[in-house]
Amino acid sequence: MQNSTPGAIMENQETTKDKLDRLIPLFYVNDKEAKQYIEVSEGYKKEIKQLMLDGSIEEFPCGDLRATCKISTREDFNQDRLLAKIKQLGVQGIIKTVEVVDMDALENALYHGQLNAAELVTCRESKEVVTLRVSKIKKK
């Protein structure tokens, strides 16, 4: 068996400084390229969505790809209106001290019948979201 000294072992191992010297430039270049690709891709996505919406096209096959573009509505609570309504209704334990509604407590109160969801309808907001999906067409 060879007699190894700690210094000899360190010479064979890449030091933290060496690893950082190697990894930081690699990360920088790759991260910068990724951000550029995302920016280009987002531009394409925006234009495709607009073309499909303007043409009332929900689905478009393109070679071995298929693009679908759908409008969906996502609802959420208007925090100011919801806060005022919860205060008005006097239900305790739902409003946090920073004056935001504790959504878990609200859900629990609705589930256990402490609140009627119909009373909160004026606190809801709807938002249209356009979703674009492009996927490979499955071959049969």
Indicate if the pLDDT at residue 135 is higher than 80: no
Element (H, E) at 76: strand 65-77
Q: How many angstroms separate the CA atoms of 91 and 119, rounded?
A: 12
Strand-pairing partners, residue 72, are 129
Task: Give the SS3 label for residue 66.
Answer: strand
More confident site: 10 or 81:
81
Reported as a single tens digit per residue, the pLDDT across 35-86 is: 899 999 999 999 999 999 999 999 999 999 999 999 998 889 998 999 999 9
Q: How many angstroms separate the CA atoms of 94 and 87, rounded?
A: 9
Indicate if the pLDDT at residue 7 is higher than 70: no
Task: Give the SS3 label for residue 18.
Answer: helix
Q: Rounded to a whole number, what is the distance in angstroms from the first to the last CA of the chain?
A: 62
